[in-house]
């Protein structure tokens, strides 16, 4: 187990390092951020002074080396636009994204897996067909548009829910979150539903496919022959057997939603990290782009690690070998 961890962490370091080179070279190729930010009234002298001040006149290798040295000294850089350390900037907004994603994943799993099980258990029933048709909508209708419809319906016409933003926060057990207040929930529910639709569609289809396949297998037939009730067969045998692909996809989706929930965040004006990174790209705020993408890589590596651990728990045949 320990050697497994060490190998995984060594792999992660290599991935992060490779990623930092790719991101750095890519960002360098886009161009000089000063040219994007500077006011048209500035003189050539002001421009050149700035470029030197931010070290942008140095060759790529030198700039990268400076960046690496700072990272090892624990400094991920300071935003050029806000003049706030990137880590502070990202973590001031990360809790908002975490809340939104957590609620949306709960909705996707809580609705998607039971619906998928039902659709696979009784594939010919009307309910199952309806569920499948709706899951196609979840996939194919753009989230931007659904978000606008939700706002028009529930915020503008009915006036039940606020149209955007994050609600009041409260502190519970030392954690500050808007999920501890009713106002917070009224703000999070619409964007969370909007964000969950795609994942929900995915969960329904994956679960149903696994379910249909499993219903025809020998172990289910044996269980039936043994006289076990269907409820027990579905929940303790089938669900466990089909959960590996579901957990894999859920892990990947979790990572990408945490990092790039930008469409939903924009539509609902949710103060999360997705909006921050898009603005940084538009303004070529290099330190934020580079450091944020590196944090995303670390996040994905961590999620994959957790997913592997969950596999081992779900399926005893999966062994966590050090050398693999």
Partner 1 sequence: MTKLTLKSAVAALALASAAPAVMAADLVVGLRAGPDSIDPHWSTLGSQAEALRHVFDTLVDVDEKLQLKPGLAVSWEPIDDTTWEFKMREGVKFHDGTDFTAEDAKFSIERIPEVTGPMPMTLYTKYVDSVEVVDDYTLHVKTKGMAPSLPNDFTRLFVVPSETGMEAGNEEFNSGEKAIGTGPYTFVSWQPKGDLVLKRNDDYWGGETAWETVTRREIPEDTSRVAALRSGEVDLINYVPASDYLAMKNDDEIDTFVSDSIYILNIAPSVKDEEPQPIKVNGEEVEGNPLQDLRVRKALDLAINRDVLVNVVLEGLGTPANQLMPEGFFGYSPELGKREYDIEKAKELLAEAGYPDGFEIDFTCTNNRVPGDAVVCEALAQMWSRLGLTVNAQALNGTVFFPAAAREEYTMTMSAWGTLTGEAAYTYGALVHTKDAEKGFGNFNRSGYSNPEFDKVFGEGSQTLEPEARKKLYEEASFIAMDDRALIPTVILQTVWAANADTIDMTARVDQETRTYAIKPVE
Residues that bind partner 1 (CB under 8 A): 31, 33-34, 37-44, 46, 50, 54, 80-84, 89, 92-93, 148, 151-152, 155-156, 158-165, 182-183, 185-186, 189, 266-269, 271, 275-276, 279
Query: What is the closest distance, in whole angstroms, from the C-beta atom of residue 100 to partner 1 in the complex?
Result: 15
Which CB atom, from 82 or from 260, has the smaller least distance to partner 1?
82
Which CB atom, from 30 or from 136, has the smaller least distance to partner 1?
30
Query: What is the closest distance, in whole angstroms, from the C-beta atom of residue 229 to partner 1 in the complex?
Result: 23
Which CB atom, from 112 or from 251, has the smaller least distance to partner 1?
112
Query: Which residue, 221, 193, 239, is CA-closest to 100?
Result: 193
Which CB atom, from 41 or from 216, has the smaller least distance to partner 1?
41
What 3-state DSSP class applies to 284? coil
Query: What is the closest distance, in whole angstroms, from the C-beta atom of residue 120 to partner 1 in the complex?
Result: 21
Tokens 């500050």 label which residue?
176
Query: What is the closest distance, in whole angstroms, from the C-beta atom of residue 61 to partner 1 in the complex?
Result: 23
Which CB atom, from 51 or from 312, has the smaller least distance to partner 1?
51
Query: Which residue, 96, 101, 89, is CA-closest to 295?
Result: 89
CA dist., res. 84 & res. 78, Å (int): 5
CA dist., res. 76 & res. 48, Å (int): 25
Query: What is the closest distance, in whole angstroms, from the C-beta atom of residue 47 to partner 1 in the complex?
Result: 9
Residues 6+ apart with CB under 8 A from 93: 271, 272, 273, 276
Other CB atoms within 10 Å distance of the CB of residue 235: 11
Query: What is the closest distance, in whole angstroms, from the C-beta atom of residue 159 to partner 1 in the complex?
Result: 6
Other CB atoms within 10 Å distance of the CB of residue 14: 9
* Alpha helices by DSSP H, the chain: 2-30, 33-37, 44-53, 60-72, 86-121, 126-140, 143-150, 182-215, 218-225, 230-232, 239-259, 262-267, 273-282, 286-314
Query: What is the closest distance, in whole angstroms, from the C-beta atom of residue 143 to partner 1 in the complex?
Result: 13
Which CB atom, from 37 or from 299, has the smaller least distance to partner 1?
37
Which CB atom, from 10 or from 152, has the smaller least distance to partner 1?
152
Tokens 């959960």 label which residue?
243
Max Cα separation, the chain? 86
Alpha carbon 225 to chain centroid, angstroms: 43
């Amino acid at each position: 187990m320990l050697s497994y961890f060490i190998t995984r962490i060594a792999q992660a370091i290599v991935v992060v390092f490779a990623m930092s080179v790719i991101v750095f070279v890519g960002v360098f190729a886009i161009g000089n951020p000063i040219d994007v930010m500077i006011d048209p009234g500035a003189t050539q002298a002001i421009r050149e002074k700035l470029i030197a001040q931010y070290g942008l006149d140095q060759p790529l290798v030198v700039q990268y080396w400076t960046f690496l040295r700072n990272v090892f000294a624990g400094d991920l850089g300071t935003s050029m636009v806000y003049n706030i350390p990137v880590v502070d900037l990202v973590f001031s907004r990360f809790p908002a994204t975490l809340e939104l994603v957590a609620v949306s994943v709960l909705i996707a799993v809580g609705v998607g897996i039971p619906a998928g099980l039902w659709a696979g258990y009784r594939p010919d029933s009307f309910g199952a067909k309806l569920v499948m048709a709706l899951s196609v909508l979840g996939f194919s209708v753009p989230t931007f548009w659904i978000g606008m419809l939700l706002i028009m319906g529930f915020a503008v016409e009915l006036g039940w829910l606020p149209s955007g933003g994050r609600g009041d926060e409260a502190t519970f057990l030392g954690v500050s979150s808007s999920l501890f207040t009713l106002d917070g929930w009224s703000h999070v529910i619409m964007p969370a539903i909007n964000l969950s639709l795609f994942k929900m569609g995915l969960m329904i289809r994956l679960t149903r496919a696994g379910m249909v396949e499993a219903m025809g297998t020998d172990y289910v037939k044996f269980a039936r022959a043994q006289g076990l009730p269907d409820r027990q067969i579905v929940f303790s045998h089938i669900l466990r057997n089909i959960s590996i692909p579901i957990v894999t996809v859920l892990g990947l989706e979790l990572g990408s939603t945490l990092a790039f929930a930008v469409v939903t965040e924009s539509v609902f004006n949710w103060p999360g990290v997705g909006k921050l990174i898009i603005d940084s790209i538009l303004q070529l705020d290099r330190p934020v782009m580079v450091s944020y993408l590196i944090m995303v890589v670390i996040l994905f590596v961590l999620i994959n690690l957790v997913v592997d651990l969950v596999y081992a728990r779900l399926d005893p045949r999966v062994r966590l070998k050090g050398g693999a």
